[in-house]
Structure 1
Amino acid sequence: MEICCDLEVDVNGEETFMVDKKIITSYSGRLSKLFGKTKGTTRNLKVIFHDFPGGAESFELMSRFCYNNGKTQISPYNICLLHCAAQFMEMNNSISGTHNLLEQTDKSLKEINYWTWSELLIALKQCQDLLPDVNSSVILQKCLDSLVGRLALTNEASPCPSTSSPDSSGFRFSCDTKSTESVKTSSSRATWWYEDLFILSPNLVEMLVKSMVERKFNHVIISRFLFYYHKSKFYTATSDEKRKILETVIDMLYTLDWSSVSYKSLFGILRVSMSLNINKSSKNKLESMIGSQLDQATLDNLLVPSPYGINYLYDVNLVLRFLKAFLNGRSSQLSAIRLRKVASLMDLYMAEVAPDPCLKPSKFQAIAMALPDSARDSCDELYRAMDMYLEVHAGLPDEEKLKICCALNYEKLSAEIYIHLSQNTKFPSKATVQGVVSQQYKLKSLLEGTNISQQDTDLSCTSIEIRSKGKKDETSEQVVLYAGKLDVISDNEKLKSHLQGMQWRVMELEKVCRKMQTQMAKIMKSRVSSHGHSRSLPRLCS
């Protein structure tokens, strides 16, 4: 067959090819329709392609297929390029007969399960390079399905489930927990593919993770891969690429079981994200994941510097969002233990941010009142944080101070803190009086409901002086607390009678105790004389 070069083809500005129009057109429906409109014989024809998938390399492979009578060697190394070129050139119904390039690539794809792991990665990488060309989507999905299927077989080969935590150095797939060598082998079996797949683009990683979730992969393994991918990719990525990587990792972690995600690593991503200005959706997802497990956080985790332009030393608004996510997270019921852990953490955090002179009282109050009262068994640490804040912000009006004190449950203050409060001039006088009255009722309840001796209750009246500044003069208020003689109750005589009865019973018990001690002494003396040695006996009374 005589071959002439009567058609010039410019491929994406990369390279120009001189080809035989008749040969190429006989296999390409696209060119056939294009030249079918031309009338007569024309010479020096030129076609310019701006978006040919795979560029010059792909066009050359397609041309060789045409010049070789519709035959070519299709392998994992070129199947993606040939498949996309065939779709672009509409080589699904060739004029020359049954030599259909698209059909041949589809047939070769059926052998994908026999490809080696390396061949599969090469094909996947080629598909990735052709994106966002939609023509590569079919072969790309098949490559991903095959890859995920092989990883699933690797994981299912182990008889034991993973017993490692998200923060551990590896995953245990072997039942032999005694052998260190076995653990190392198990770890490599679980994570050997991490390094091979970090070359994938964020778009492909998203498709990969979604496929893994559908195949019921261990979420711990997936989350560890995402953190590995994030760290590995960041070394050579540009700012825009880093932002895309981070957003993809966050979005994919959000689809997993949050308890399988390393809490420490989430805070690492949080600190990196602050300088990259990620989109609002990904930012909210990250804060929700962190906030839902706030009981696992430490004080250092929460001491995040404020964003640029805000005077606060630490990002208090971020912590408030964490608290909101914790209270409104995926878990509908919060255990008392988790609430107490977060309350203790917030007390430490408030003590740390209290000295900040720029921190507004509304923000401090919001943190103090974010958790329900049941979260704290004691309000001592909360009081100390408030005391520190009011000392630094001494110029606040009483109205603002009272709003802050509203978060304080005076009934949960210890005696030591109560005494400190009664003499604390930094607190508004109304708050101090309220605390003293609360303590008075608390002591009254204890005396009415607890059996204690008359000697312990025969206390003198305690007078507590509370100073407050008026508009003109300094005035003082007297709050008298009755500990031993509760004249405020109507049944005073009944209480005295009850206490006298208690005292009589104590005296009787003391007599019995002394009698038992005498008897024990006689027994011990007799045993010494009979056996020549004594054995120590428990002291029943002292």
Structure 2
Amino acid sequence: MEMNISVSGTGSCNLLQKTKDSIDELSFWAWSDLLVALKHYQDSPRTATSSGVLEKCLDSLVGRLAMASEVTPCASTSPPDSSGLRISFNTRSTQSSNKGLFRATWWFEDLSALSPNLIEMLVKSMVSRGYNHVIVSGFLFYYQKSKFYTASSDEKREVLEIVIDMLYTLDPSSISCKSLFGVLRPVLHSNISKSCRNKLESMIGSQLDQATIDNLLIPSYGRSYLYDVNLVLRFLKAFLREGGSESSPIPMKKVASLIDLYITEVAPDRCLKSSKFSALVMVLPDSARDSWDELYHAMDIYLEGCLKKKK
């Protein structure tokens, strides 16, 4: 396969041979030239990988990003929201913070054109260099959204699996719970691998104390009952498995309050089996609740519905 492409306006040349001959000069390539090379190589990954050119290009690109982040550090280490950028214009300080964050994420759009396989290599390289996990997670969420506009169902599945796998390698505190639920929505309609689905549920479960009742009211597609109770139970088990019962009591109590609200919402569903309702009630330890009033209220609603159903 010929690899003729115009680079830096110098005319048509063999890109692979050019890169081999000038591998030590990659640090002098313009950002746009590196992007052109990467986009070209992603169409012929075997040739590029076997020659080592792809890794060199990615290494040079990540090096540029690392240097840029050192010159202009991220203004915030808080996890980005679902858009990948937290924007507020209330005060001068937030405006300054947003400008700093924008300068740290200017490359999002440029790299969103890369294939999922290249994104995987890119993120691994960034993580190995100690790149800010908050920015990396923000880029992954941005990448998933941008790719979904034109992707086929198979391409969407591939993007989701790469994004979830890469998010799973990051520091959990760098990932927004809201953004994880944003990824969950398309996952529910995609045939992604079970391991990826488990990873996503585990990440959400570990941050369940940051979720809202609206996050949990997920329709139960293809089932008789209204909401996906099984999914919420898996979140709860992940929360407990990830140390929720051993950490500070504050997250546990937040989750208990959240689940009591959830139980109240699902209690009127007459199709909800008693085994599922009982599982929701009993999944958390007794010490998680300061008050049982909300739970008793939910139980009254459920029992009343059961009696009406029998009539």
TM-score by length of 2: 0.89
User: Deviation of residue 79 (structure 1)?
Assistant: 5.0
What secondary structure, in the 3-state scheme, does the structure 2 residue paired with 1:394 have?
helix
Equivalent of 2:246 in 308, 313, 333? 333
From 113, 120, 136, the equivalent of 2:27 is 113
Look up the match of 1:260: 174
1:131 alignment partner, one of 23, 30, 45: 45
Q: What amino acid maps onto 1:261 in structure 2?
A: I
Does the 8 A contact of 2:79 with 2:175 survive in 1? no
Partner residue in 2 for 1:348:
261
Report if aligned partners of 1:355, 1:389 keep a CA contact under 8 Å in 2: yes
Q: How does 1:286-301 map to 2 (within 5 A)?
A: 286-301=200-215
- Native 8 Å contact 1:163 1:171 kept in 2: no
Distance 2:100 2:23 in 1: 33
* Contiguous gaps of at least 5 residues in structure 1: 1-54, 62-74, 84-104, 398-542
Paired AA for residue 344 in structure 1: S
Aligned to 1:16: none
CA distance in 2, matches of 1:287, 1:256: 15
Distance between the aligned counterparts of 2:31 and 2:294, measured in 1? 59
User: Aligned ranges for residues 55-454 of structure 1 at < 5 Å?
Assistant: 55=1, 57-58=2-3, 78-82=13-17, 105-133=19-47, 135-136=49-50, 138-158=52-72, 162-167=76-81, 169-170=85-86, 178=92, 182-308=96-222, 310-329=223-242, 333-394=246-307
Q: Residues 260 and 294 of structure 2 are in contact (CA less than 8 Å); yes or no, is this contact kept in structure 1? A: yes
Contact 1:306 1:314 in 2 (8 A): yes
Q: CA deviation at 1:132?
A: 4.1
Q: Quick one: structure 1 residues 350 and 182, their matched pair in 2 at CA, closer, same or farther if it must change by over 3 Å?
A: closer
Structure 2 spans left out of the alignment, 5+ residues: none
Contact 2:217 2:228 in 1 (8 A): yes
Instruction: Work out the number of aligned pairs and report it.
Output: 302
Find runs of 4+ consecutive structure 1 residues off by over 3 angstroms.
75-83, 132-137, 158-161, 168-172, 177-185
Alpha-carbon offset, residue 267 of structure 1: 0.7
SS at match of 2:22: helix
The Cα of 1:264 is off from its aligned counterpart by 1.0
**Pairwise CA RMSD of aligned residues?**
2.6
Greater relative contact order structure (CA < 8 Å, 6+ sep): 2
- Distance, in Å, in 2 between the alignment partners of 1:290 and 1:390 is 31
TM-aligned CA distance change 1:114 to 1:200, over 3 Å: same
With over 3 angstroms needed to count, the CA separation of the structure-2 counterparts of 1:107 and 1:275, relative to structure 1, is same
Q: For residue 158 of structure 1, report the CA deviation from its aligned partner.
A: 3.2
Structure 2 letter corresponding to 1:155: S
Paired with 1:140 and 1:359, the residues of 2 have a C-alpha distance of 53
Tell me if the contact between 1:164 and 1:170 (Cα under 8 Å) persists in the aligned partners. Answer: no
Alpha carbons of structure 1 residues 186 and 363: separation in structure 2 relative to 1, 3 Å: same
Q: Is the 8 A contact 1:77 1:123 kept in 2?
A: no
Task: Give the Å deviation of 1:181.
Answer: 5.9
* Stretch moving more, 134-143 or 296-305: 134-143
How many Å separate the matches in 1 of 2:296 and 2:187? 35
**Which secondary structure does the structure 2 equivalent of 1:348 belong to?**
helix
Q: Which amino acid aligns with 2:301?
A: M
More helix by share: 2
Deviation at 1:326, TM superposition (A): 0.3
- Listed one character per residue, the Cα deviations across residues 470-521 of structure 1 (whole Å, up to 9, x for unaligned) are xxxxxxxxxxxxxxxxxxxxxxxxxxxxxxxxxxxxxxxxxxxxxxxxxxxx
CA contact (8 A) 1:299 1:349 kept: yes
Comparing 375-384 with 328-337, which one deviates more in the overlay? 328-337
The separation in 1 between residues aligned to 2:302 and 2:245, in whole angstroms, is: 34
Deviations along 1:355-396, one digit per CA (max 9) or x if unpaired, are 111111111001100000000111111111111111111289
